[in-house]
Chain A
Amino acid sequence: MKLQVRYFASIREALGPGEAVELPAGSTLGALRDALIARGGSHAEVLARGRALRAALNQVMADESALVEEGAEVAFFPPVTGG
């Protein structure tokens, strides 16, 4: 299945604003993160396990157990610091 991944703040500076990603049906947000880490390079560095990272699924905060569906919009970003 195809989905759209977006990046913000320090993650965007390293990886760009986003990209289309192909993933097996039934994948979770965590599996998507692992697939991106497996690309190596900047992806492996800024999405690495142990780094503070938050995610949104279809513009709602989500954790890594969330199931991703065809056409979903997923975003990865650092902890938020507004206000």
Chain B
Amino acid sequence: MARVAIQTDDFDLGAEVAALRAADGGVGAVASFIGTVRDRNDGSGVSRMELEHYPGMTERAIEAMIDQAMQRFDIRSARVIHRVGPLEVGDQIVMVAVSSAHRGQAFQACEFLMDYLKTQAPFWKKEHTPEGARWVDARSADDAALQRWGIAVGNA
């Protein structure tokens, strides 16, 4: 199965985890993260959002992140799905799932991949609020999260 999917369609965490575990008797742990659309951001109500990406570069960037995760951590496989296009409050946006023999490496690799994706994968969110549509600002806290892994970044 491809490690990275960028799609408008929703995804099913159960089916994705089952696929990671299938035919790999060495898996003893799976850690996963799902990001969803909140109804508030920066003090305003959010009714919906649109996600834009850079076709081609986005997939390449996340593939490179998974390569790094495989080198840094003792994990067996990883899968990243990120949705683009129009999304409603409560919709799933992103999934990272990692399998490993023991839980520690799966937890760490899952967080590493999310921290990396937040500041290095070319996606942009535009949210709709009662005051109008606005592009979401990058957060310096996300840069700090990646710096904990020893990777210098200047996104925000």
Footprint of B on A, CB under 8 Å? 6, 8-10, 12, 52, 54, 56, 59-61, 75, 77-83
Contact = CB atoms under 8 A, between A and B. Distances in A.
Contacts of B156: 52, 79
A61 B117 CA distance: 13
Given A8-B54, A81-B135, 10 more contacts: A56-B122, A59-B60, A60-B61, A80-B119, A80-B122, A80-B155, A82-B82, A82-B93, A82-B94, A83-B123
Contacts of B118: 80, 82-83
12 contacts: A54-B155, A77-B54, A78-B138, A80-B119, A81-B123, A81-B125, A81-B138, A82-B53, A82-B82, A82-B118, A83-B93, A83-B117
B124 interface: yes
B94 A83 contact: yes
Interface residues on B, range: 20 to 34
B136 to A, nearest CB: 4
Nearest to B93: A83
Nearest to B124: A9
Q: Binding site of B, secondary structure by majority: helix, strand, loop or mixed?
A: mixed
Interface string B8-26: 0000000000000000000
B35 A9 contact: no
Interface in B24-62: 35, 51-54, 56-57, 60-61
Contacts of A82: 51, 53, 82, 93-94, 117-118, 121-125
B124 A61 contact: no
B108 interface: no
B106 interface: no
A14 B104 CA distance: 46
Contacts of A12: 52
B54 A81 contact: no
Contact of A59 (B54, B124, B135): B54
A54 B137 CA distance: 13
A60 B57 contact: yes
Nearest to A75: B54
